[in-house]
Structure 1
Amino acid sequence: MPLTYLHTMVRVKDLDASMAFYKLLGLEETRRMDSEKGRFSLIFMAPPGQTDCPIELTYNWDGDEGLPSDGRHFGHLAYRVDNIYETCQLLMDNGVTINRPPRDGHMAFVRSPDNISIELLQEGDDLPPAEPWTSMENTGSW
């Protein structure tokens, strides 16, 4: 039986904050559907040129108090980046907490505004250990 990947869906409470976070990671809006009748919006975002692997942000217009306080039950989203140190620095400069710093030059974890765990992985070989990352402690859960 053939299987085709479609997308990963996460529910979001603050659409603007969530879209800004995913844009910091380099994702672009590829498609949007607003349902007046259902009172929700679906925003699909993907890395440039990779529209076949989107994330779907589902936003309920009337709020979504049912969202869990810890999105980790879902697992995590993973993205490969050209330079893990530059990516983490950009995120930090924009107020994002680096929960698991890239001490190994290979992997880091952050969380979206909706508490979704995001894994960042270095493209190719690990980068050489560098400060401030090598001595940075974990913050919170990832």
Structure 2
Amino acid sequence: MSKKGEFRVLHTMLRVFDLERSLDFYTRILGMKLLRKDDYPGGEFTLAFVGYGDEASQSVIELTYNWDRKEPYVIGDGFGHIAIGARDIYTLCDELKAAGGKVVREPGPMKHGSTHIAFIEDPDGYKIELIQVD
């Protein structure tokens, strides 16, 4: 049996239809770094890992691009969102919109709480919640 503290979330995987468009969104729009990108010719896919810090200490996002995909993915009704903490989400949303980002829920307090949130959408339609942190 493992002890508490021996576990850590390593990454979340998202399948993407257009890898370059997704990389542009996560790096240019959201300010993440491309940590690594590997092609797997035998399996005809590419994995790109993006995040705000090193994989050794931070959770990251794995973007999986299947080379033979002809249609965009359908996001299942079980997926909710990825959450990112940020300071001043009001200004951030203005900056994201100016950079071409799609804000789908303007910043404001939660419906049943006091936490301030906003939602943006990546090129494949995945929702990203921005949570105001101080």
Determine if the TM-score, normalized by the shorter chain, exceeds 0.5: yes
Contact 1:31–1:45 (8 Å) recurs in 2: yes
Percent of residue pairs bearing the same amino acid type: 41
Matches for 1:47-58 after TM superposition, within 5 Å = 47=52, 49-51=53-55, 52-58=58-64
Tell whether 2:14 aligns with 1:21: no
Contact 2:17–2:72 (8 Å) recurs in 1: no
Q: Partner of 2:125 in structure 1?
A: 115
After TM superposition, give the deviation of residue 50 of structure 1 in Å. Answer: 4.6
Root-mean-square deviation over aligned CA pairs: 1.9
After TM superposition, give the deviation of residue 122 of structure 1 in Å. Answer: 1.2
Distance 1:39 1:46, change over 3 A: same
Q: Partner of 1:31 in structure 2?
A: 36
Q: Partner of 2:73 in structure 1?
A: 67
Contact 1:99–1:109 (8 Å) recurs in 2: yes
Deviation >4 Å, runs of 4+: none
Tell whether 2:14 aligns with 1:4: no
- TM normalised by structure 2 equals 0.81
Q: 1:83 aligned to 82, 85, 88, which one? A: 88
Which deviates further from its counterpart, 57-66 or 107-116?
A: 57-66
Q: What CA deviation, in whole Å up to 9, does each residue of 1:96-137 have, x standing for no partner?
A: 22111002382100111011010001122xxxxxxxxxxxxx
Distance 1:28 1:79, change over 3 A: same
Larger strand percent: 2
Between the aligned partners of 1:87 and 1:71, the Cα distance in structure 2 is 28
Between the aligned partners of 1:42 and 1:33, the Cα distance in structure 2 is 5
Query: Where do 5+ consecutive residues of structure 1 fail to align?
Result: 125-142
Q: What CA deviation, in whole Å up to 9, does each residue of 1:63-114 have, x standing for no partner?
A: 253721x455321111011221222112111222211100238210011101
- TM normalised by structure 1 equals 0.77
